[in-house]
């Protein structure tokens, strides 16, 4: 969908002006570059927290590890005022401005309801087939989430639903890759043209499998040529539209990477397909490294492997409690891997540079 430049600029100016009046946030200063190895590694991690008020143990961990961001679930939200207070607390406690993420997809995956607009599932939009409707609703979501202090939405889902039994289900726009691409672009533009970063997920192939990666590792036996004809179509469109982030799934793709490992931990998928073949230069994020598909590897080792494979953001998140020791071990093992030469510090620097660029493009906010 083409957006009139003058109208967009005027709309952006109006939104910025209204935010000054209605939103008690002030923009944080542009993030400074982390200096020590520990600071750099901390910026790679986005983690979840429990409850509607941050616990002292979480704030201590945030200050100690200097996380790059947090992700919010429904159990973190009661009202707009409560969330602004929570985010003001964590932003002030953090040594660096935080990315503030959530999955506000619509339909079955809605984290915030009270006091914000909610919208249908992607499957419903697929049946309607209107890019204008998708764009308008994504713009409204962006305005709502920005007013709460969010900076990154882990949406849209761009999986092509090739298997009706896929757990992706109504989270997908449907089985038509061209329609999925058009609607995904409309959503990305709706978010990002209204100051909320967007994420194209899940790379790649979950629309083919009936296995849920929250429980175990699915396998998709499609070749690169087969994926290029269907599944890569929306991702190519998302990249061309300037999507800020791609989230990589925990799915084995043995026809592409013969080592049986999740795409999220695969240099073949991240370096060769996402970076080289598709030419993506933005931020690559893993799906949560606390999911069942990772159980055989373990979260700390998975964090090391994902970074070595080329991922930028290492997501450790759940709507249930994750023992603090798991996150501590993950951070410490990544630091140890760099110190041991398993991963170069320049590799860390490239990811940190991309994360800082994302933060600068979509600056977080804190209660003033």
What span, in angstroms and rounded, lies between the C-alpha atoms of 267 and 152? 25
Give residue for tokens 């004809």.
Answer: 229
Is 212 noted as a catalytic residue in this protein?
Answer: no
Point out the catalytic residue in the list 159, 180, 257, 287: 287
Point out the catalytic residue in the list 214, 328, 329, 349: 214
- Token pair of 56 as six digits: 């002292």
What span, in angstroms and rounded, lies between the C-alpha atoms of 279 and 49? 34
- Token pair of 148 as six digits: 């709460």
Residues 2-39 as b or e (16 or more Cβ within 10 Å = b): eeeeeeeeebeeebeeebeeebbbeebeebeebeeebb
Residues 208-243 as b or e (16 or more Cβ within 10 Å = b): bbebebeeebbebebeeeebbebbbbbbebbbebeb
What span, in angstroms and rounded, lies between the C-alpha atoms of 119 and 110? 9
What span, in angstroms and rounded, lies between the C-alpha atoms of 8 and 2? 11
What span, in angstroms and rounded, lies between the C-alpha atoms of 72 and 92? 17
Nearest alpha carbon to residue 79 among 141, 147, 33: 147
Give residue for tokens 């997908």.
Answer: 172
Is 287 noted as a catalytic residue in this protein?
Answer: yes
Q: Are strands 314-316 and 69-72 parallel, antiparallel or unpaired?
A: unpaired
**Cα end-to-end distance, the chain, whole Å:** 37
What span, in angstroms and rounded, lies between the C-alpha atoms of 5 and 115? 30
Alpha helix positions (H), 107-166: 122-128, 131-148
Query: Taking a C-beta distance cutoff of 8 angstroms, is the pair 196, 154 a contact?
Result: no
Give the active site residues. 214, 287
């Amino acid at each position: 969908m083409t957006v009139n430049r003058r109208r967009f600029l005027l709309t952006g100016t109006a939104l910025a002006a209204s935010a000054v009046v209605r939103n008690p946030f002030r923009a944080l200063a542009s993030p400074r570059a982390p200096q020590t190895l520990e600071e750099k590694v901390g910026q790679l991690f986005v983690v979840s927290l429990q409850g509607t008020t941050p616990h002292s143990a979480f704030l201590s961990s945030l200050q100690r590890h200097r996380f790059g961001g947090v992700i919010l679930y429904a159990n973190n939200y009661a009202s707009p005022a409560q969330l602004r207070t929570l985010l003001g607390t964590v932003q002030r406690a953090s040594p660096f401005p935080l990315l503030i993420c959530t999955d506000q997809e619509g339909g079955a995956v809605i984290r915030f309801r009270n006091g914000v607009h909610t919208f249908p599932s992607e499957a419903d939009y697929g049946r309607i087939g209107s890019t204008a409707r998708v764009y308008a609703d994504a713009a409204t979501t962006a305005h709502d989430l920005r007013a709460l202090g969010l900076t990154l939405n882990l949406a849209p889902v761009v999986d092509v639903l090739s298997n009706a039994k896929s757990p992706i289900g109504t989270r997908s726009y449907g089985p038509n890759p061209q329609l999925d691409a058009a609607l995904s672009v409309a959503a990305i533009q709706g978010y990002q043209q209204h100051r909320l970063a967007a994420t194209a997920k899940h790379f790649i192939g979950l629309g083919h499998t009936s296995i849920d990666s929250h429980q175990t590792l699915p396998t998709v036996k499609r070749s690169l040529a087969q994926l290029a004809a269907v599944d890569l179509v929306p991702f190519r469109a998302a990249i061309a539209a300037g999507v800020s982030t791609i989230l990589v799934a925990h799915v084995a793709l043995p026809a592409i990477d013969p080592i049986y490992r999740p795409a999220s931990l695969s240099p073949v998928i991240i370096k060769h397909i996402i970076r080289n073949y598709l030419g993506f230069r933005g931020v690559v994020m893993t799906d949560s490294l606390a999911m069942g598909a990772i159980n055989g590897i373990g979260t700390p080792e998975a964090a090391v492997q994902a970074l070595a494979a080329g991922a930028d953001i290492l997501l450790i998140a759940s709507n249930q409690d994750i023992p603090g020791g798991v996150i501590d071990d993950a951070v410490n093992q990544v630091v140890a891997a760099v110190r041991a030469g398993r991963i170069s510090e320049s590799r860390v620097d490239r990811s940190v540079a991309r994360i800082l660029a994302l933060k600068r493009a979509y600056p977080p906010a804190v209660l003033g």
